[in-house]
Structure 1
Amino acid sequence: MDFYQNKLTNAESESNLDPLTGFYNRRFLEKKMSELDRYSIILFDIDHFKAVNDQFGHQAGDEVLKFLSELVKRETRASDLCFRIGGEEFLIILPETDIHITKSVAERIRKITEYTLSPSGKPITVSMGISSFPAAGDSFSELMNKTDQALYKAKQEGRNRVVTAV
């Protein structure tokens, strides 16, 4: 019986993970959000990622995604939850964390990314939106929407920056 239980547990675990980055996927995100009362989020993506794929190929693009996910894992706590929610778009949920600590985590990730050579041979940059629940929204959906707007603003303002949702 233990053998089949282990197989089932492993299959369930794998169905919650993105195979490329090892981050959680959207399916797990929906399950997890109902368990949290107070948290902050960092929504970010790689600036000009299409250029990486176009110039170096999709395999190099995949290596850049792996590189970034490893960097993020090193710079976050064990209690933080990292998700790949789209091609080069990521989300970090920081349970029981206020916006000030979240901003410092985001800035640290942004700066390390900017100054570290990626597998493409060049540094990459990231644009980030951050927010905090319940201060910035009444629901996770509202929070994500506001944070996405902050991410868009970071892009509009020149990329490679952190913008706090209001």
Structure 2
Amino acid sequence: MVGSYLAAAMLCWLGWERFDRREVIAWMMALSLCTLLRAAMFLAYRRTPVNLRTPATWERRYWATLVLSAGVWGIGAVAVMPAGDLMGQALIMLFAVGMSVSAVSCYSSYRNMTLVSIALVLLPSTVWLLLQPSGLQQGIAVAVLVFAFFVASATRSLAQALETAWRLKHEMELAHRLAMVASCTDELTTLNNRRAFFDQARAQHALCRGQRRLVAVLMLDIDHFKQINDTFGHAAGDQVLQRIGAVIKAALREDDIAGRLGGEEFAVLLPDTPQAAACDIAERLRAAIAQLNVSAEHRVTASIGVACASANDTELDTLLSGADKAMYRAKATGRDRVAVVEPVRAAV
């Protein structure tokens, strides 16, 4: 955008004494309007949320401004072409060829854009020269056409190479993102694995500490899980874990963090959650898990421990330890229940 405007301005400056000044002024005014229009489009694009910057929305607008700018450039070059000044004509063709080279560098990954830009910039002046009686003028036009032919041929290979390179780059980025997700996700339940849970929980706890908010932690353990594996097989046990993972995910709010710590043990961090609300969430989880059955005779249950305190006053490990102790108390007092540590510090 800037380059095409500067090229036209430089050409007009160099040919000020050779060109019709009224045509020069009209050309520069038209190019100024095109440049402002393209600049407005780019600013609108930058201000648009990233998720809305799609080719379906913006590519047609970009094409329209590109065609308008290149067309004004090519037609303006013909308009200022001095009929009896071979040096002026050669100067204009030199700049037009330079604009074609810049089109290759700017749009090389989009072959159609490259070809359209070259055609709109070069063809008007080239056709004009071909229609002149002088053999030298026609020779310049033929030389430009030969140059344009070889450039057009080269753009195919260049565009294909760049397209392949970009596709491989995006595939590698996608593979990297998938690998990162896989390294942080428990394969069976699709919850966070132990490492990811602690990393995210510490970050969320630090955020709550900075804002002096409450934090609650739930520790959940499936009752008699070994008996499920021994009686019904490990496949049934894996299915129970998957279903419990789905129950936990369905109960989470946007900022809540859940993970499988190992075996049949799960943890959930609830930011900005008072004890009553944490107990309510824990009770809903317990009731939902109690509706899961391995068989008609064997019901799945879970024991849940709850710990809640101000993040500013309590470390995350202290909360987890308190919730863990409450969970074991729930098991010791009959299982399939929620137990609360209060206060957390007294439990540690």
Q: Does the alignment reach a TM-score above 0.5?
A: yes
Amino acid paired to 2:189: T
Superposition pairs of residues 5-84 of structure 1, within 5 angstroms: 5-36=173-204, 37=208, 38=213, 39-84=215-260
Is 1:108 matched with 2:284?
yes
Amino acid paired to 1:117: L
CA pair 53-97 structure 1, distance change in 2 beyond 3 A = same
Identity %: 35
Superposition pairs of residues 119-130 of structure 1, within 5 angstroms: 119-121=294-296, 122-130=298-306
Is 1:138 matched with 2:307?
no
- The structure richer in strand per residue is 1
CA pair 25-117 structure 1, distance change in 2 beyond 3 A = closer
Segments of structure 1 that go 5 or more residues without pairing to the other structure are none
- Paired with 1:102 and 1:75, the residues of 2 have a C-alpha distance of 12
Is 1:118 matched with 2:118?
no
Please tell me whether the aligned partners of residues 47 and 127 of structure 1 are also in contact (alpha carbons under 8 angstroms): yes
- Paired with 1:136 and 1:148, the residues of 2 have a C-alpha distance of 20
Q: 2:262 aligns with which of 79, 86, 90?
A: 86
Cα distance, 1:161 vs structure 2: 0.8
- The structure richer in helix per residue is 2
Please tell me whether the aligned partners of residues 52 and 120 of structure 1 are also in contact (alpha carbons under 8 angstroms): no
Please tell me whether the aligned partners of residues 113 and 123 of structure 1 are also in contact (alpha carbons under 8 angstroms): no
Cα distance, 1:144 vs structure 2: 1.0
- Paired with 2:295 and 2:308, the residues of 1 have a C-alpha distance of 33
Is 1:98 matched with 2:98?
no
- Structure (1 or 2) with the larger CA radius of gyration: 2
Q: Could you tell me the TM-score, scaled by structure 1's length?
A: 0.91
- Paired with 1:117 and 1:132, the residues of 2 have a C-alpha distance of 28
Please tell me whether the aligned partners of residues 60 and 120 of structure 1 are also in contact (alpha carbons under 8 angstroms): no
Is 1:156 matched with 2:324?
no
77-86 or 119-128, which deviates more:
119-128
Amino acid paired to 2:272: E
- Paired with 1:20 and 1:136, the residues of 2 have a C-alpha distance of 34
Runs of 4+ in 1 over 6 A off after TM superposition: none
CA pair 141-156 structure 1, distance change in 2 beyond 3 A = same
Cα distance, 1:66 vs structure 2: 0.7
**2:303 match: secondary structure:** strand
Q: Could you tell me the TM-score, scaled by structure 2's length?
A: 0.45
Cα distance, 1:5 vs structure 2: 1.8
Please tell me whether the aligned partners of residues 259 and 267 of structure 2 are also in contact (alpha carbons under 8 angstroms): yes
Cα distance, 1:135 vs structure 2: 6.5
Cα distance, 1:143 vs structure 2: 1.1
Cα distance, 1:8 vs structure 2: 1.2
Please tell me whether the aligned partners of residues 47 and 124 of structure 1 are also in contact (alpha carbons under 8 angstroms): yes
RCO higher in structure (CA 8 A, sep ≥6): 1
Amino acid paired to 2:288: I
- Paired with 2:312 and 2:299, the residues of 1 have a C-alpha distance of 32
Aligned residues: 165
Cα distance, 1:85 vs structure 2: 0.2
Amino acid paired to 1:17: T
Amino acid paired to 1:70: A
Please tell me whether the aligned partners of residues 275 and 307 of structure 2 are also in contact (alpha carbons under 8 angstroms): yes
Write out per-residue CA displacement over residues 64-113 of structure 1, whole angstroms, 9 at most, x where no aligned residue: 11111112222222332110001000011112212111100100111122
